[in-house]
């Protein structure tokens, strides 16, 4: 009887151990299997993208865009994220059933420098070429380069129908905008190589690189009434965002911006972010005279004057004179 009791208690003990194991295994498994991050749904539709034609880098494009008052208007089919969609830190294991899933998988593979996963994301016509490169001499430095981008607040800006596939624009905070061309291979969106000579993609890349905002008037700078063309006047200007530019320009549409200084750029004398300190040289006016000009800040390197830049509270007036020297008496 005792033996039976002992046997029974051992059985319960063993059962309880088994049960505990099972619970431990299940809980461990549940900890390993974190759910995949929820990426946005792929919901393409038609939309218009308005790109200022005076934005740096923008190409003429009368073929694909409607040109209206210094603006290129593109009618597109696709989906964009106005502020960009910031990819989650870990996005491995996507099904590749949407373009965003394929990009998330690519970014994760780049982060982890996983060559085979990168190759597997390409379609059958491109995979061999990519594999050859990733096993070549430049592969390590390439992976250094792309893993930096992948780890630098990478955002999906959007995607558009293009050719036989979809072009997805991604942007990182170091290297700017990258293009990805995806085609459907079965149920999956696969990456493919692309050579493009049209202006559409280039212009949209420039748009996403800067996501231009209207210029902001720089008000109330204490400028002198007059300035020697060979002299300069120092100014200190606070800009809305770090890395913004301050431009000085005359009210002549189509002309070059006379002076452009970037926050923390080579001509900014103030190391603080959001503050630009620089000299306005008289020579930017080229010849003596009385000038009306504007000072405004931009979130892109403004290059050409356009009517949109004529902000009434950014207007200044100065008399530029020249002290004659020996060389002027010819």
Residues that bind other proteins (CB under 8 A): 55-60, 122, 126, 129-130, 133, 138-142, 144-146, 149, 167, 173-181, 191-197, 201-202, 205-206, 208-210, 230, 243, 254-256, 259-262, 265-267, 281, 283-284, 286-287, 300-301, 303-304, 326-328, 330
**Residue (138 or 313) nearer to other proteins, CB:** 138
Question: In the bound complex, what is the minimum distance in angstroms from residue 243's beta carbon to other proteins?
Answer: 6
Q: Where are the alpha helices (DSSP H) in 33-114?
A: 99-111
**Residue (79 or 99) nearer to other proteins, CB:** 99
Query: Taking a C-beta distance cutoff of 8 angstroms, is the pair 45, 77 a contact?
Result: yes
Question: In the bound complex, what is the minimum distance in angstroms from residue 194's beta carbon to other proteins?
Answer: 5
Question: In the bound complex, what is the minimum distance in angstroms from residue 128's beta carbon to other proteins?
Answer: 12
Question: In the bound complex, what is the minimum distance in angstroms from residue 251's beta carbon to other proteins?
Answer: 15
Question: In whole angstroms, what is the distance from residue 248 CA to residue 260 CA?
Answer: 7
Query: Taking a C-beta distance cutoff of 8 angstroms, is the pair 212, 55 a contact?
Result: yes
> Nearest Cα to 121, choosing from 133, 131, 136?
131
Question: In the bound complex, what is the minimum distance in angstroms from residue 211's beta carbon to other proteins?
Answer: 10
**Residue (257 or 314) nearer to other proteins, CB:** 257
Give the pair of three-digit tokens for residue 145.
Answer: 């380069």
Question: In the bound complex, what is the minimum distance in angstroms from residue 316's beta carbon to other proteins?
Answer: 18
Query: Taking a C-beta distance cutoff of 8 angstroms, is the pair 95, 42 a contact?
Result: no
**Residue (25 or 182) nearer to other proteins, CB:** 182
DSSP letter at 137? Answer: T
Q: In angstroms, what is the C-alpha Rg of the chain?
A: 30
Measured between its terminal Cα atoms, the distance across the chain in Å is 130
**Residue (9 or 67) nearer to other proteins, CB:** 67
**Residue (20 or 242) nearer to other proteins, CB:** 242
Query: Taking a C-beta distance cutoff of 8 angstroms, is the pair 199, 61 a contact?
Result: yes
């Amino acid at each position: 009887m005792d033996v039976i009791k002992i046997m029974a208690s051992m059985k319960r003990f063993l059962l309880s151990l088994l049960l505990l194991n099972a619970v431990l295994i299940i809980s461990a498994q549940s900890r390993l299997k974190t759910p995949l991050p929820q990426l946005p749904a792929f919901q393409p539709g038609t939309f218009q993208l308005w790109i200022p034609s005076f934005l740096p880098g923008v190409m003429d494009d009368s073929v694909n865009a409607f040109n209206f008052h210094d603006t290129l208007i593109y009618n597109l089919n696709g989906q964009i994220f106005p502020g960009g969609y910031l990819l989650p830190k870990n996005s491995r294991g996507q099904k590749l059933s949407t373009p965003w899933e394929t990009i998330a998988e690519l970014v994760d593979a780049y982060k982890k420098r996983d060559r085979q996963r990168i190759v597997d994301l390409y379609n059958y016509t491109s995979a061999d070429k990519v594999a050859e490169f990733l096993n070549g001499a430049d592969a390590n430095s390439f992976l250094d380069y792309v893993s930096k981008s992948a780890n630098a607040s990478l955002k999906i800006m959007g995607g558009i129908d293009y050719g036989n596939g979809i072009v997805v624009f991604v942007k990182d905070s170091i290297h700017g905008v990258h293009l990805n061309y995806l085609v459907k291979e079965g149920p999956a969106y696969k990456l493919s190589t692309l050579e493009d000579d049209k202006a559409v993609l280039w212009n949209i890349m420039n748009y996403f690189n800067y996501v231009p905002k209207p210029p902001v008037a720089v008000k109330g700078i204490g400028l002198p009434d007059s300035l020697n063309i060979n002299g300069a006047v120092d100014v200190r200007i606070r800009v809305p965002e770090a890395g913004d530019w301050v431009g000085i320009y005359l009210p002549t549409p189509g002309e070059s911006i006379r002076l452009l200084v970037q926050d923390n750029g080579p001509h900014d004398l103030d190391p603080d972010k959001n503050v630009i300190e620089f000299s306005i040289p008289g020579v930017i006016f080229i010849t003596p005279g009385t000038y009306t000009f504007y000072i405004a800040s931009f979130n892109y390197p403004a290059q050409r004057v356009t009517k949109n830049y004529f902000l009434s509270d950014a207007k200044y007036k100065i008399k530029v004179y020249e002290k004659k020297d020996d060389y002027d008496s010819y």
